[in-house]
Amino acid sequence: MNRKEFIGKLGIGAAFVLTTSCLGGCTRDKREVNNVDLTIDLDDPDNADVLVAGGYIIVDGIVIAQTLNGDYIAATRTCSHDQLNEILYDASSDEWLCSAHSARFTLDGEGLNANGANGLAVYQTQLDISTNELLVFS
């Protein structure tokens, strides 16, 4: 093998090593979904704000809201942009919004601007009408 062939093979090998290590770890989505298992008593007066379309409550670092359509949604309060606990539900735009740096996210947690590019952890909700409890879980 001559020098040119050696450098060519070395270049391909180095590119392969760098690419394969990055494929598993290079991602823009930095959402950290923690294990969540909450039961919200909707008859409790402390939770009255979530009974109103566009309203929300904050429980254990989770913001739980009712959309204008009457659906219950939940997301972490921790913004992936700056790690501050500033995420709120913005009923006027039907989005999650970080009040610190205006990171914006869809209700599914997808980033809508540069500050929201890393995504947002969202959780599942289920209304138990027999007990009037809202289940929030990961």
The model's pLDDT over 95-122, given as tens digits with 9 standing for 90+, comes to: 999 999 999 999 999 999 999 999 999 9
Per the model's pLDDT, the better-predicted residue between 3 and 122 turns out to be 122
Q: For 8-25, how does the pLDDT look when each residue is reduced to its tens digit (9 = 90+)?
A: 554 544 443 333 333 333
The DSSP symbol for 107 reads T
Q: For residue 37, what pLDDT is reported?
A: 96
Amino acid, res. 113: N
> pTM value?
0.76
Residue 77 to residue 10: CA distance in whole angstroms: 47
Assign a CATH topology to domain 37-137. Answer: Rieske Iron-sulfur Protein (2.102.10)
What's the mean pLDDT when you consider all of the chain? Answer: 84
Residue 86 to residue 75: CA distance in whole angstroms: 11
- Provide DSSP, 27-84: -S--------EEEEETTSGGGGGGGSTT-EEEETTEEEEE-TTS-EEEEESB-TTT--
% pLDDT > 70, the chain: 76
Residue 131 has pLDDT above 60, yes or no: yes
User: What's the Rg (C-alpha) of the chain?
Assistant: 21
Of the candidates 48, 74, 53, 56, the residue with the CA atom closest to the CA atom of residue 132: 48
Residue 110, burial from CB neighbour count under 10 angstroms (0-12, 13-18, 19+): middle
Work out the average pLDDT over 44-71. Answer: 97
